[in-house]
Amino acid sequence: MQLKTQGLACGRGDAVLAADLSLKVAAGSALLLRGPNGAGKSTLLLTLAGLLHPISGNVVFEGADPEAGPFIHHCGHKNAVRPRLSVIQTLKFWADINGHGDVTPATALDRVGLGRTARLDAGYLSAGQQRRLVLARLLVSPRPVWLLDEPSAALDAAGRDLLAALLADHLRSGGLAVVATHDDIALPGAATLTLGARA
């Protein structure tokens, strides 16, 4: 699968935040979105995800089979965690909605370092632990396109290493990723798009 945009402009209302974007992100590769607060990184991710209409131009996922079901994970700033659902129930809930793959919720929790919190109410997780739970959500429901907005927010150094490892695995298995971040995420070979500041 390949993500391509042609003459893409995106923004909010009449405000154009990015224009004339002709992007190509092939299977196995990643694009990092950078730029100051308010530059439009989240807006671009939402547009790529089909959650906001482009102002002009288009977004195409070449090779996507619409019959095969959803192929995009969009993870925004919010963790979408229900406080009174346990950690493992949260992950099962997401897998039931997004689809089950080879990785079980229990295995995914172990992978992101949350194995011992499985029965805890998700609302009691720390900010970084909740972000790790979002990463586990990516693992239980395999999808080739990851659109991640500040995935390393609140993660500690080990968490950032974990994120880099998960992204590397995803790309190695033929996935693609677009990641908005203010952090240094170790992703060798990733291209970078820097969006500009607005007054």
Question: Which positions lie near ligand ATP, rule CB under 6 A?
Answer: 12-13, 17, 35, 37-43, 180
By residue count, the chain amounts to: 199
Q: What are phi and psi of 147, to 5 degrees?
A: -115, 105
CA distances to 21, 60, 145, 169, 195 from 11, rounded to whole Å, are: 12, 18, 22, 32, 12
Three-state SS for 111? helix
Q: Smallest Cα–Cα separation from 144: which of 112, 113, 186, 99?
A: 99
Between residues 38 and 101, which has the closer beta carbon with respect to ligand ATP? 38
C-beta of 53: minimal distance to ligand ATP in Å?
13
C-beta of 180: minimal distance to ligand ATP in Å?
6
Between residues 43 and 129, which has the closer beta carbon with respect to ligand ATP? 43
Between residues 40 and 159, which has the closer beta carbon with respect to ligand ATP? 40
C-beta of 193: minimal distance to ligand ATP in Å?
11
Between residues 94 and 146, which has the closer beta carbon with respect to ligand ATP? 146
> With contact defined as beta carbons under 8 Å apart, do 162 and 136 qualify?
no
Got the DSSP string for 40-67? SHHHHHHHHTTSS--SEEEEEEET--GG
Residue 132's contacts (CB-CB under 8 Å, 6 or more residues apart) are 112, 113, 114, 155, 159, 162
Three-state SS for 133? helix
Exposure of 85 by Cβ count < 10 A (0-12 exposed, 13-18 middle, 19+ buried)? middle
C-beta of 47: minimal distance to ligand ATP in Å?
9
C-beta of 169: minimal distance to ligand ATP in Å?
26
Between residues 40 and 105, which has the closer beta carbon with respect to ligand ATP? 40
C-beta of 99: minimal distance to ligand ATP in Å?
28
Between residues 37 and 68, which has the closer beta carbon with respect to ligand ATP? 37
